[in-house]
Amino acid sequence: MNEEAVLELITRKPELKPAKAKLESMQPGSYCIHQSWGFGQIKKYDAADTKLIIDFEDKEGHRMDPGFCVVTMQVLPPEHLLARKETEPDAIDEMISKQQADLVIELLKQYPNGATSAIEVEAILTQVVGAAKFKKWWTATKKILAKDPRVAVPPRKTGMYVLREEPVSIEDELLEEYNTTQSAKRRVLIADKLLDTVKEKPEIKDQLAGVLHGLATAVKESNQLSPAEKLKGAWIRNDLAAILEIDIADFEPTLVELVNDTEGLNSLLKELATNLQTRALQLIKESHPAEWKELSFSLLKSSSGKFTTDCINFLLENDFEKDLQETLKRWQTEQNLKEPVLLWIVKNRNSRKYGDLVRSMIKPRLLNAIFYAIDYEALQIVTSRRIPLADILSEDAELIPDLLADADSETARDLANNLLLNQGFEELTKKSLLARFIRIFPAVQSLLETGEETRATGLIVSRESYDKSVAEYDDLVTKQIPENSKAIGVAREHGDLKENSEYKMAKQDQSLLLARRNKLEMDLQRAKITDFSELGNDAIGIGSVVTLLDEKTDKEITYTILGAWDSVPEKQVISYKTPLGKALIAKTPGEEVELHIEGEDSLLKVMSIERYVDLVKS
């Protein structure tokens, strides 16, 4: 827009006078960012229509009212990074790949006082770098910025990036922040960064005596620090003391004291950063010479993620390969292999380093343990989060064939049935996994067909019996099975499982509970609720009250035929799934029915048929 066009627009809309400078910046060729349309370029101004013509990324030639754009659009100066990305693409690409800190500095120059929020910085740089590679690029760039004396980096995402007038070294910035903070947690974190810095710049070590004193006091006296934070602080304290050549004998608490509580080691290790967990294992070895091996195996049992690998490497480095192999097999026998350890086993079954350790476990029995762990995990979670062990079973096309390599057809069928009953998988995933069984054992196909046929037939049930079954299922899943799992855990702590009657009884109960849960789950999926109101009186059906004459005894008896779960034999209420119910269905008055039940022959004649709903109403 030229000056004449702007004056004409202001004459017609005097309220735009304060925005005169912004309207004048809306020149053809200028780049802009609109709140709704994103990045674009102004192509021209249509004076006759008083509209700007703007090319946006997803909409070319978009016509917009300049007065509306005053509020909703930012016109970018030529030096803005997004504008330069269009006008100087090679220079910007060079900074993205090799001069990351300079790119951020160029961005900060666009803001008053050279400062803007971390959120704004990330939003602009995402567009400059590209969303696909931004996350990885930004992670690396933040490490570079942390060491650049020209930029003040905020400790939190809610802070501000500031372009300094005078460069400040990272060590001076850290020392200043350390001396001004009163937070013990922050002091531990800052001292850790200073420890890394002094390794690169030993000349600053004379400035660290005060840091060491403050850190030692925080580790000893602060109640803000968790056990894991105290341990990390104590390590940093001792490492700084070593650099400053100060004796650590008088420091309290000692490292040994910080890992003295063996019952709290599991939670302590889980809270520690992953790069410190191996160091913690070594400290446990030094602090508990008589029981460190047992403690290490206990930590492995409940480990997860990288710590599982760290535990196994630690045990292997201490020549416990045979013990480790035997322990893993024993945990498998006891159904005590947790999901993370199982995940580690299957991921490393073909590795050169661990293959000899786990290869002998890649058997059908391990697949059963995997199904059990997935089913157990599905019972514990109440959110929609994924189960990693179930995911790898689905994603690794060779895993099931590897585990079934030594299986016979009967074992494969049992495992396939366990898969169908497992509630850790969606139905489509079950069918996909079952296809891998079928490729090796074609006979398993019949299990799928039988299951589909059974599900297709459905079960006719009353609302009352359905609600009762749902209540039983909920009680199993939310109360009985979790309580049984706790009982197994308690019984396991009592010692030798071969002689542990409480453990055996709890495991037997578990089998019954899981079997009942699986049966209810399948039945509820098949259930079709009815109120029996659609039945007629012409023939016997589900919801009929039928009077029969026993022609042997010449006595009449009346039966009510209801849903699959409605049998009350003492009241002559029977399910349509019983032998008598099946024999009577579709019979009409006057027809005879021959029965052979439990060795006795009977001849029954249908005398009359009434509807159950009519009798209930009356």
Residue 559 lies in a domain: yes
Domain boundary among 42, 75, 108: 75
Residues 6+ apart with CB under 8 A from 176: none
Rounded to 5 degrees, φ, ψ at 548 are -115, 150
Same domain, 107 and 155: yes
pLDDT digits (tens, 9 = 90+) for 590-609: 998 887 765 677 888 999 99
pLDDT digits (tens, 9 = 90+) for 163-207: 988 887 778 888 888 888 889 999 999 999 888 888 777 878 888
Q: Which residue has the tokens 């057809």?
A: 409
Q: Is 36 a residue whose pLDDT tops 90?
A: no
Residue 176 lies in a domain: no
Same domain, 69 and 103: no
Same domain, 154 and 107: yes
**Band of pLDDT at residue 75, cut at 50, 70 and 90:** very high
Q: Three-state DSSP class for 174?
A: helix
Least confident of 65-79, 86-100, 198-212: 198-212
Determine the pLDDT at residue 580. Answer: 87
Q: Which residue has the higher pLDDT, 497 or 52?
A: 52
Domain boundary among 148, 163, 178: 163
CA distance 376 to 235: 38
Q: Is 100 a residue whose pLDDT tops 70?
A: yes
Same domain, 11 and 70: yes
Query: Based on the structure, what is the number of domains in the chain?
Result: 3
**Cβ burial, residue 245 (10 Å; 0-12/13-18/19+):** exposed
Determine the pLDDT at residue 384. Answer: 58
Determine the pLDDT at residue 187. Answer: 92
Residue 298 lies in a domain: no
Q: What angle do CA 422, 324, 343 make, to 5 degrees?
A: 30
- Size of the chain in residues: 618
CATH assignment of the domain containing 48: 2.30.30
Best CA proximity match to 341, nearest among 314, 366, 378: 366
| DSSP H or E stretch at residue 518 | helix 501-526
Question: Which pTM does this prediction carry?
Answer: 0.58
CA distance 539 to 590: 11
Same domain, 558 and 604: yes
Determine the pLDDT at residue 54. Answer: 95
Determine the pLDDT at residue 81. Answer: 94
Q: Are 231 and 268 in contact (CB under 8 A)?
A: yes
Residue 13 lies in a domain: yes
Q: How many other CB atoms are there within 10 angstroms of residue 399's CB atom?
A: 20
Determine the pLDDT at residue 381. Answer: 62
Residues 6+ apart with CB under 8 A from 590: 605, 606
Q: Is 344 a residue whose pLDDT tops 70?
A: yes
What tokens were used for 588? Answer: 């009409």
Q: What is the DSSP letter of 425?
A: S
pLDDT digits (tens, 9 = 90+) for 464-512: 999 999 899 888 888 888 888 888 877 776 665 555 677 778 877 887 8
Residue 292 lies in a domain: no
Residue 325 lies in a domain: no
CA distance 15 to 186: 51
Determine the pLDDT at residue 94. Answer: 95
Same domain, 102 and 46: no
Highest mean pLDDT: which range of 213-222, 385-394, 408-417? 213-222
Residue 146 lies in a domain: yes
Q: Is 581 a residue whose pLDDT tops 60?
A: yes
Residue 396 lies in a domain: no
Residues spanned by the domain of 143: 81-163
CATH assignment of the domain containing 588: 3.10.50.30
Same domain, 59 and 101: no
User: Which residues on adjacent β-strands are paired with residue 545?
Assistant: 560, 610
Determine the pLDDT at residue 447. Answer: 67
What tokens were used for 497? Answer: 């499982």
User: Which residues on adjacent β-strands are paired with residue 459?
Assistant: 527
Arithmetic mean of pLDDT, 91-95: 95
Q: What angle do CA 72, 73, 74 make, to 5 degrees?
A: 135
Q: Three-state DSSP class for 428?
A: helix
Domain boundary among 134, 163, 192: 163
Determine the pLDDT at residue 83. Answer: 94
